Amino acid sequence: MNSKQFGKILIIVLVIGGIGFFLNKNRQSDWRDSSAGAGDKVLGEFDANEVASLTIKTSEGELNVEKKDDRWTVKEREGYPAKFSSVFDFLRKVEELKIVQKEQIGESQFARMEVNEPGADAGAGTLVDLKSASGESLKTMILGKEQMKKGDANSPFGANDMAVGRWVLNPDDKENILLVSETFSSADTAAKDWVNKDFFGVSKLKTIDVVSSSNEFTWNVVREAEGGDWKLQGKTPAGKEIDSSKISSIGNPLGSPSFQDVIVGKKAEDTGLDKPTKITLTTFEGFKYDVKVGKQTEDNDYYFQVNVSANIDKKRTPGKDEKEEDKAKLDQEFADSVKKLEEKLAKEQVFNKWTYLVSKWTVDSFFKQRSDFFKDQEAKKDDASVSIPNTPTPLLPPSITPPPPVPTGNNAKATPATKGTETKADTKPAVTKTPPAPKSTPKPSATKAPAPKKPAAKKPAPKKPATKQGSAKAAPKKPEAKKETTKPAAKKPESKPKAAPKKPAEN
């Protein structure tokens, strides 16, 4: 290689090296890593209590939350109360927001980091503007791209990437982009997510009256006492009876209702509230809720209005046996109860002027026809006719029928000693299934003497049982025979009939 060729190669290397150095320097000017400022507050020092207005703006929409009469409201919902906790948490995060990482950046990188102002052709971010009561802008920032972290396959959340922070741009310092640990997921412009979702609640229900404009749903129920069963009012159709399970399923509607959104700027004919289903609910505490339910939306929600009123009893009626020493305590308890009811009324009357969007399940229990509470009447069953059919009526009461065989058998056994011709009567008592017979065998010695005297004195007795017809008629008198011959009856079933007369002869 001659010197001329070497010189050319050297020149080429120097040119390429120079170009690389220039490009690298230019890139560093656009994006330069720096740890300076880490731990500092993004927006510097400011008092969040001075903020009277919060604006969140994106390319898709805008949200304005304003403080009026010391109460946060949502401008896009015609001043409907905002959820205080949501506003407070957001302002606290902004006030305490600290830098995790600071990068020097050029405007050419704005789109990639999504920190361009809303409305930009590409890479538009979310503008947050905090204003004072006079309308002056206190602090502003643009929320950009989320900082993602690779998911772990062993994580319970799966291997999906997750947001661990967000890039933020302070418009007053466009040379630096800041990484913060907050993601600000709540920084959206959906007004329904910022309104206060607290709602009224019906307790101690007494009556429900439902009337639809088309009379499709028309019925009313009443309770006689708190917690009692519902009673459907009106006549019961012929051949029908009230289905208690369907009545009890009414439960306590609107006990803790909720709503999806507050509706503004729509006419009554658009919402169906010009021809609504009207529902009137009254309570044992004197409250009255006049509810209107309009059309159903494509999402199966319903337009809804409520008007709350009350007739609170402010005078206590003393009990019949009330003691004088208890009067002051009871009066105070009653006064406290009245105060709570008045506070409840004031709180719930705030909802009177608004139109809401509620879910289907909130009002579904009212959409019933009166006929839905009935079922076909069941045939009544006669208990007497069911228990006796095809059962023969006994000649004697059950309590008396068992004893008669015992005395008749005893008499029949006593007579064979004198009359062997009546051995047939002896066979019948032998067949009698009386378990007490074997248990009484140990007592013959104590009653040997009276045993022969009684059968001898009552010789005519065997004649009556000898005939089957006579035994049936003599049945009522057999309890007396039972008392006299219960012991002999137990003795002689085990002894042979021929040996029975010999024992008294020896004595």
For the segment 410-436, the average pLDDT, to the nearest whole number, is 45
In degrees rounded to 5, what are phi and psi of residue 486? Answer: -65, -40
Q: What is the pLDDT of residue 324?
A: 81
- Per-residue pLDDT at 357: 98
Of the spans 151-160, 233-242, 494-503, which averages the highest pLDDT? 233-242
CA 41 from centre of chain = 47
Name the band, by pLDDT with cuts 50, 70 and 90, for residue 22. Answer: low
Contact, 65 vs 75, CB < 8 A?
yes
Q: Is the pLDDT of residue 256 over 80?
A: yes
Spatial separation of the C-alpha atoms in residues 374 and 238, rounded to whole Å: 11
Residue 47, number of CB atoms within 10 A of its CB: 8
Q: What angle do CA 166, 63, 178 make, to 5 degrees?
A: 20
Alpha carbons 391 and 80: distance in angstroms, whole number? 78
Going by C-alpha positions, the residue among 250, 246, 494 that lies closest to residue 366 is 250
Q: Domain residue spans in the chain?
A: 3-31, 35-193, 205-376, 405-506
Highest mean pLDDT among 239-253, 370-384, 427-441 belongs to 239-253
CA angle, 127 then 132 then 134, to 5°: 120
Write down the mean pLDDT value for the chain: 79
Task: Kindly report which listed range (176-185, 311-320, 493-502) carries the lowest average pLDDT score.
Answer: 493-502
pLDDT at 487: 46
At 167 the three-state DSSP class reads strand
Confidence grade of residue 163 (pLDDT, cut at 50, 70, 90): confident
What residues does 105 pair with on adjacent strands? 31
Of all residues in the chain, what percent carry a pLDDT higher than 70? Answer: 68
Q: How confident is the model at residue 99 (pLDDT cuts 50, 70, 90)?
A: very high
Mean pLDDT of 29-46: 70
Dmax over CA atoms of the chain, in Å, equals 170
Q: Per-residue b/e over 82-114, b at no fewer than 16 CB within 10 Å?
A: bbeebbeebbeebbebebbbbbbbeeeebbebb
- pLDDT band, residue 375 (cuts 50/70/90): very high
> Which positions ≥6 away from 141 have C-beta within 8 Å?
42, 43, 94, 127, 128, 168, 169, 170, 171
State residue 392's pLDDT score: 57
CA distance 490 to 291: 85
- What is the band of 102 on the pLDDT scale with cuts at 50, 70, 90? very high
Q: Which of 57-61, 200-204, 472-476, 497-501 has the lowest mean pLDDT?
A: 472-476
Cα radius of gyration (the chain):
50
Q: What share of the chain is helix, strand, coil (3-state, %, to 5)?
A: 35, 25, 40
504, 452 contact by CB (below 8 A) = yes
Average pLDDT value for residue range 241-267: 95
pLDDT for res 8: 67
Instruction: Extract the tokens encoding 213.
Output: 């404009």
DSSP letter (8 states) at residue 82? B
DSSP string for 233-297: -SPPPTTEEE-HHHHHTT--TTSS---SEEE-S--HHHHTTTSPEEEEEEETTSEEEEEEEEEE-
pLDDT tens-digit series, residues 268-296: 999 999 999 999 999 999 999 999 999 99
Instruction: Measure the CA–CA gap between 343 and 310, rounded to whole angstroms.
Output: 11
Backbone angles phi and psi of 98, in degrees to 5: -120, 155
Work out the pLDDT band at 14, boundaries 50, 70, 90: confident
Identify which of 413, 403, 502, 424 has the alpha carbon closest to the alpha carbon of residue 455. Answer: 413
